[in-house]
Amino acid sequence: MPTTRLTLGDYSACWIASEEGKAFTVDVHKLHKNFPCASHLHVDGNWMLGRVIPNESLSPASLTGTQTGLETEKPFLFTSMKLTDDDSFLSSSQTVRDIGEIKINVYRISNLQDQENPLYNGTVLSDDKKVHERAKKATEHRVKSGEEVKVAACKLQSCTRHEQVAKFVFRYRSSRMLQANGLMVREPSPVEESTSGKGDTRKRKSEVKEESEEEEEDTEEIEARQEEAELLARLESIRNARNARSQTKPPKKKIKEEPRPVFMRGEVIDLT
């Protein structure tokens, strides 16, 4: 599908369509055999897992789900957002702001080492998480972990992480919302030929359906959609300004980090 893309230095972002119940995979490709790197995946503000691409490899690193065992994982699925009026959920507003984003941070790494007795501690996203109705973000979906499935065996390694070399952000919304905000092209409506004796007239099925739906929509529904569109536009403007400012800041001092465990299935996955 067509996407809207923003690129600033080593930062790149785009919009993608989400569909309830549909699984997704994140693939990371290296273009050159220059150095080994690790891609770290964050979903809806949660750190999920990492995948290492060795120096000599140009094969894509696929992040398909949370590793739960040597040969098992729970795939990533889009699901509907559940709302509540319980005020105790208002304290989680920071997490709510990150819902609707899939982030990939890519780092240069070194000192890869195999680990014995690996601990599979990747993040599992529950399906029963709720969001307060007053803190609702302009999105209909979030991500959950699906049922456990069998996968090829992978090993756990630790590595030393160095500077970040790239960042990718995929902001997902439903097709309806993307189309309403001009971020996704509407599919052509199907046409059918009339069999009446007055000539070959064509009418679009979708136009008849849209007229019927518009008559049923009340004022509250229309206002809600307008509010969602305004919030979406404001959020994009703030993010673009923040990311542009970050490009002009002086580089931060490097901080030495402790080795982090990573998995490999052909490549290597980092679950810490």
Model pLDDT for residues 150-163, shown as the tens digit of each residue: 998 877 788 899 99
Residue 204 pLDDT greater than 60, yes or no? no
Confidence of residue 248 (pLDDT cuts 50, 70, 90): low
Residue 90 pLDDT greater than 90, yes or no? no
Query: What are the residues facing 14 on neighbouring strands?
Result: 5, 170
Query: What's the gap between Cα 210 and its chain centre?
Result: 30
Burial category of 51 from C-beta neighbours within 10 Å (exposed 0-12, middle 13-18, buried 19 and up): buried
13, two tokens: 């972002």
